Amino acid sequence: MTSVLEIDKLTVSFSTPDGAVEAVTDVSLSVEAGECLGLVGESGSGKSQTFMAAMGLLADNATANGHIRLDSMDLLSASEKKLNTVRGERIAMIFQDPMTSLTPHMKIGRQLAEVLIEHQGVDKETGRRRSREMLDRVHIPEAERRLDMYPHELSGGLRQRVMIAMALMCEPEVIIADEPTTALDVTVQAQILDLLTEVKDDLGAAIVLITHDLGVVAGLADRVAVMYAGRIVEQGTVADIFAAPTHPYTQGLLACTPRLDVETEALVTIAGQPPNLQNLPSGCSFHPRCPHVFDRCKAERPSLENLSNGQAKACFRAAQEAAE
C-alpha cells in the first residue's frame, strides 16, 4: 500500500526568549490509507506538534523544517491559501477538548454545514441535509433537533461526536485525532473509540491517533510510534510493541499501565522527570531515567534502526548485549 501522509525528517523548533527549543527532532513517519497509526508519548514529547505542523497550525514563533507530503503536495511549504483548500477537505483534525473547540454562538447544524459551504460550495439546504446525515452516522440521537442546538446544550460525549462528524464532513483521506478521548469519561471514551473504528473501516481513511493512553492505542491502532523528547524511539505494529517492547522507555510505559489481572501494591512509575527540551541530556535523551544505562548511552545518541520484523528502535542495548 502507498502512504497517504508522509512525514520526512521533520524538525520543529520554537524561538523563545531563552533561545531556540526543539520540540520535534528528525521525525519520519508515514500513514497508509485505512490504517490507524498511534502516536504515544508523555506531555511535551512533541507528538501533537508533529501534526500541528502538518496542519499548518504551529504557533507564530515556530519554524518547521523537513517535508510533510500529502500525496505529492508538500504541506510545509504550501501557502496559507493552498493549505485552506486541503484542511478540512482532505486532512481533518479532531481536537482534544470538545468543550471549547466548537464556536459557542453558532448552532451545530450551521457549524457542520459551514465546512461543506467553504470547501464544496454547496447551498445551505444541502449543507443542512448532509449535516443531519452525518450526525446520524456518528450515532447522535435526534439529529434533526440537535442541528438547532448550541454547543453548550450538548454533553461532552455528544460534542466529541459532533467534532468527529465535522472532521468527516468532506470525507477526508487523513484524520488526525489529537487525544480525542482525554476530556471524556471512561464509558464515553469507549463509545468514541468504537465510532473511530467504524469510521476507519467504513471510510478507508488513515487515522493518526495522538494519545498518552496506551489502552486507547491497543484498542484502535494498527501501528504505534513512541516518542520521547521530540524523537521517535520505537516504532512497530501494535502486536509487536505490546508483546515485545524493545526500547526501555516503551517497556517502562507498558509497566506503568495498571492492570486488573495482576495484584500490585503500588503503581509503577518511570523514575525521574521528562527532560527539559532546552537542556537535553547528552547522548540518548532517556539515559538519566533508563534502568539499563551504560557508558555509550551517555556519549552517543542512538539512531532509529530497523529491526528484522519491521519494528524500529533507537537503543544501543541490543547491540551491547550482542557484543558481550
Partner 1 sequence: MSDAPIRDSRPGANLSVPNAAALDKAADVEGRSLWQDAFRRLQANRAAMISAIVLIVMAFVCFVGPVLVPWSYEEIDWDILEATPPNFDTGHYLGTDSLGRDLLARILQGGQVSFLVGILATSVALVIGVTVGATAGFMGGRVDQVLMRFVDVMYAVPLMFFIIILMVVFGRNFYLMFLAIGFVEWLTMSRIVRGQTLTLKNKEFIEAARASGGSTASIIARHIIPNVLGVVIVYVTLTIPQVILLESFLSFLGLGVQPPMTSWGALIAEGAQEMEITPRTLILPAVCLSTTLFCFNFLGDGLRDALDPKDR
Q: Which is nearer to partner 1, 26 or 74 (CB)?
A: 74
291 binds partner 1 (CB under 8 A): no
Phi, psi dihedral angles at 19 (to 5 degrees) = 110, 175
59 near 243, Cβ under 8 Å? no
Q: Which region, judged by CB under 8 A, interacts with partner 1, from 137-145, 222-230, 252-260, 270-278?
A: 137-145
Contact partners, residue 187, CB within 8 Å, separation at least 6: none
Q: How far apart are CA 257 and CA 255, in angstroms?
A: 6
Place of cell 509503577: 268
117 near 125, Cβ under 8 Å? no
Q: How far apart are CA 290 and CA 127, in angstroms?
A: 54
**Least distance (Å) between residue 228 CB and partner 1:** 26
Binder of partner 1 out of 62, 73, 122, 203 (CB under 8 A): 203
**Least distance (Å) between residue 118 CB and partner 1:** 6
Binder of partner 1 out of 19, 204, 272, 310 (CB under 8 A): 204
124 near 118, Cβ under 8 Å? no
Burial 140-149 (b: 16+ CB within 10 A, else e): beebeebbee
125 binds partner 1 (CB under 8 A): yes
Tell me the residue ranges of DSSP E strands in 17-118: 19-32, 36-40, 62-70, 73-74, 91-94
Q: Which is nearer to partner 1, 117 or 254 (CB)?
A: 117
Count of residues binding partner 1 (CB under 8 A)? 58
Binder of partner 1 out of 47, 132, 200, 317 (CB under 8 A): 132
Q: Which is nearer to partner 1, 164 or 224 (CB)?
A: 164
185 binds partner 1 (CB under 8 A): no
User: What are the residues binding partner 1 (CB under 8 A)?
Assistant: 55-57, 60, 80-81, 83-89, 92-93, 95, 97, 100-107, 109-110, 114-115, 118-119, 125, 128-129, 132-133, 136-137, 139, 141-144, 147-148, 150, 152-153, 163, 166-167, 169, 171, 198-199, 202-204
